[in-house]
Amino acid sequence: MARLTKDLIGAEPVDPAGRLTGPPRKIPVGSEFEMSVPKLNGPADSFDRYWCEIRVDGQLYRVPLRAFEIAR
């Protein structure tokens, strides 16, 4: 599994259907992640354009693609 090289700020926890399950969180540097959905073009609840979904410790997160690229 890959690990984050920087903190990932603003990750939104979501359920498998893509619905928010809590407030945005910071995923710390060194966390192992798995890409769930590589890239989606569409609005999320707190950001607009491109975003992706990753899985960290069994939890799905929706994150802005730009923030993810910086953190990985």
Reported as a single tens digit per residue, the pLDDT across 8-62 is 999 999 998 888 999 999 999 999 999 887 777 666 655 556 888 999 999 999 9
Predicted local confidence at residue 45, as pLDDT: 59
**CB burial readout 17-44, b (16+ within 10 A) else e:** eeeeeeebeebeeebebeeeeeeeeeeb
Tally of domains in the chain: 1
Show the DSSP H helices in the chain as ranges: 65-71
Please tell me the pTM assigned to this model.
Answer: 0.82
CB 36 within 8 A of CB 12: no
User: 28: domain range?
Assistant: 2-71
pLDDT at 5 over 60: yes
Predicted local confidence at residue 38, as pLDDT: 74
pLDDT at 2 over 70: yes
Tokens of 25: 């969180």
